[in-house]
Structure 1
Amino acid sequence: MADTQSNHSKGLLLTGIGGLALTVDIPLIKLADGNNWSILLMRSGTTFIAAIIIWLVWRALSPKAPQLIPGRAGLLVAGLYGIGSITFITAVYNTSTANLVFILAFNTVFAAVLSWMFLRERPRPATLLAMLAMVGGVSIIVGSSIGTGHLFGDLMAVCSAFCIASAITISRSSGKDMGFTALVGVLLPGLVAAYMVSKTGFRVDAPWWIIFNGAVIMPISFFCLANGPKYISGPEVAMFYLLETVMAPIWVWMIFAEVPTRNSLIGGAILIITLIAHSAWQLSEGRRRRASLARQLA
């Protein structure tokens, strides 16, 4: 029992660190103050280099280091993460931070729908209700952007959420270790960004922020969040992803005085409340099933 409690505490600590690290991604991108292709080039390049160094050290210390890209499924997952990175950076420069992180939280709905369609994992009624509520929340956010110049950025955020959900679904279907695949996947947007920078020119006024983001923040957040499920349940890990949804707009508001619109706050509140309520329900259901199983085995 003591070991179980220790592992649970370790899992909470890991995912807490990973979730908090992820909240500063968007503020660091904005602090670097450059054009989107230059930022994407530096962020992708430093993340890729950091991932390769970590993998080489791991491989030198242990023969059980995971593959960088495990087979065809790995290539597809890496490509999806790469496209998602391009649409994410595009959204950063074309919509508000609040809209972006609220819409990205919508990836849970996409993941549920894709799992239903391709993995035959039928959502429970409570999950379907949560999905409907989240569709309503995102509709409020996107609808308020029509005619404001933010619609393109919102659609790019939706594309990014869909790419993430697709990558998660394929990873689950393959059953392979995709720990480094998301980090290696940044090579695709890096190459695209390099081509665009050669045409438009390179401009990053404060490069140290984006180097720190790519070389330190991204590897830490991916490593911690990817290892959390070893110690705690999936719903508990998912709740820590909400830290970015809640905290990133606050950091940007404090640093850049970027105030979310009323409809963005309404839609975001619907998303956050729905996600927290659904995650709490999943945890409760999981505990109830474990308790029932324990009574049957007793």
Structure 2
Amino acid sequence: MFPTALSDHRKGLLLTAIGGLALSMDIPLVRLGDGDIWSVLGVRSAATVVATLVILAAMRLASGKWPVLVPGRPGLIAGLLYGISSLTFVLSVFNTATANVVFIVAFNPMFAALLSWIFLKEKPQPATLIAMLFMILGVGLIVHEGLASGHVFGDAMALLSALILAAAITIGRASRREMGFVPLLAAILPAALGLAQALPSGLAIAHPGWILFNGAIMMPVAFWCLATGPRYLSAPEVGMFYLLETVLAPIWVWLIFAETPATMTLVGGGILVAAIAGHSAWMVRRKHISQPAE
């Protein structure tokens, strides 16, 4: 049993690492596309929907049956939230610095902990509450910088994205149902909104190949790998790989576009990353200690 468990753990690490790396390329690819917000939102989301339908058709041919797509009312509500979060996320990318977006969206796990505490009566551990205080400090520093530089709308959209995503995750946790395809199919909503706004005057994307590559390949890979990882890893371990976007996206943007984050953004982001990483490491260690020896 031990070799099998070890193999599954390594499989989970590989999947979540690939997912985190793919997710970290989202913002740089959106920026490389160089288009207006509605064109980018519509094409990126439509590409994700088409890729998902192709994957579903392949699974149907291979297994002879359709996988679970949208599990009842919880799936519909979560899908609506995922769709709205795509809109707010793209709005944040177009209205504030990349570092601000990824650092603020990293607040998502703490929002999820708060919502679980309020609605699911899952009281967070003292270590989680301490991490939340540090994360509030970090986000406060970044938002303060946004106020000073005129990026308040973009920062607010990033914070709203984190809250909406946390709500979708909480609904999935409460329902205990399979939600793997929900965020992918939910791209129908931003695709319809973006194309409806962009098509009357024509799509305006200088380099559409980057947007198509992002929506059709990178996003499905990211979401599928990160949704499958919890089958083999604990939630805190999976959460640590979400940090790859927080750490790497500003680096990719700095290397490609020479966009250097503001000092206060780096300070606040450093506090956020340290708080999340420390909390995740503590949760993993606590889980291993609490497991009985075989």
TM-score by length of 1: 0.96
> Partner letter of residue 67 of structure 2?
P
Task: Give 2:38's aligned residue.
Answer: 37
Matched, 1:108 2:109: yes
Task: Give 2:260's aligned residue.
Answer: 259
* CA apart distance, 1:90: 0.5
Please give the per-residue CA displacement for 1:168-194, whole angstroms capped at 9, x wherever unaligned: 000011111111000000111111112
Task: Give 1:148's aligned residue.
Answer: 149
Is the 8 Å Cα contact of residues 47 and 215 (structure 1) preserved in structure 2? yes
Partner secondary structure for residue 32 of structure 2: helix
Partner secondary structure for residue 22 of structure 1: helix
Q: How does 1:42-121 map to 2 (within 5 A)?
A: 42-63=43-64, 65-121=66-122
Is the 8 Å Cα contact of residues 116 and 123 (structure 1) preserved in structure 2? yes
* CA apart distance, 1:67: 2.1
> Partner letter of residue 161 of structure 1?
A
Is the 8 Å Cα contact of residues 66 and 179 (structure 1) preserved in structure 2? no
Please give the per-residue CA displacement for 1:191-235, whole angstroms capped at 9, x wherever unaligned: 111221145542000000010111110111111111111111111
Task: Give 1:178's aligned residue.
Answer: 179
Alpha-carbon separation, structure 2, partners of 1:243 and 1:161: 16
Task: Give 1:126's aligned residue.
Answer: 127
Partner secondary structure for residue 266 of structure 1: helix
Is the 8 Å Cα contact of residues 253 and 259 (structure 1) preserved in structure 2? yes
> Partner letter of residue 173 of structure 1?
A
Task: Give 1:26's aligned residue.
Answer: 27
Partner secondary structure for residue 93 of structure 1: helix
Alpha-carbon separation, structure 1, partners of 2:199 and 2:8: 49
Where does structure 1 lack aligned partners over 5 or more consecutive residues? none
Task: Give 1:138's aligned residue.
Answer: 139
Partner secondary structure for residue 179 of structure 1: coil
Question: After alignment, is 99-108 or 142-151 more displaced?
Answer: 142-151
Please give the per-residue CA displacement for 1:50-86, whole angstroms capped at 9, x wherever unaligned: 0111112112222564322111111111110000000
> Partner letter of residue 217 of structure 1?
M
Structure 1 vs Structure 2: percent identity of aligned residues?
A: 52
> Partner letter of residue 82 of structure 1?
G
Partner secondary structure for residue 251 of structure 1: helix
Alpha-carbon separation, structure 2, partners of 1:234 and 1:6: 18
Is the 8 Å Cα contact of residues 66 and 177 (structure 1) preserved in structure 2? no
> Partner letter of residue 219 of structure 1?
P
Partner secondary structure for residue 249 of structure 2: helix
* CA apart distance, 1:3: 1.1
Is the 8 Å Cα contact of residues 74 and 175 (structure 2) preserved in structure 1? yes
Task: Give 1:202's aligned residue.
Answer: 203
Alpha-carbon separation, structure 1, partners of 2:129 and 2:86: 28
Alpha-carbon separation, structure 2, partners of 1:84 and 1:142: 19
* 1:199–1:235 CA distance, 2 compared to 1 (3 A): same
* CA apart distance, 1:7: 1.0
Partner secondary structure for residue 149 of structure 2: coil
Alpha-carbon separation, structure 2, partners of 1:284 and 1:27: 34
Task: Give 2:283's aligned residue.
Answer: 282
Taking only aligned residues, the RMSD between alpha carbons, in angstroms, comes to 1.2
* CA apart distance, 1:269: 0.2
Is the 8 Å Cα contact of residues 43 and 195 (structure 2) preserved in structure 1? no
Partner secondary structure for residue 160 of structure 1: helix
Is the 8 Å Cα contact of residues 237 and 280 (structure 2) preserved in structure 1? yes
Alpha-carbon separation, structure 2, partners of 1:261 and 1:89: 21
> Partner letter of residue 36 of structure 2?
N
Task: Give 2:8's aligned residue.
Answer: 7
Alpha-carbon separation, structure 2, partners of 1:177 and 1:161: 21
> Partner letter of residue 128 of structure 2?
T
Where does structure 2 lack aligned partners over 5 or more consecutive residues? none
Task: Give 2:234's aligned residue.
Answer: 233
Q: How many residues get paired?
A: 293
> Partner letter of residue 205 of structure 1?
A
Alpha-carbon separation, structure 1, partners of 2:32 and 2:199: 23
Alpha-carbon separation, structure 1, partners of 2:71 and 2:231: 20
Partner secondary structure for residue 29 of structure 1: helix
TM-score by length of 2: 0.97
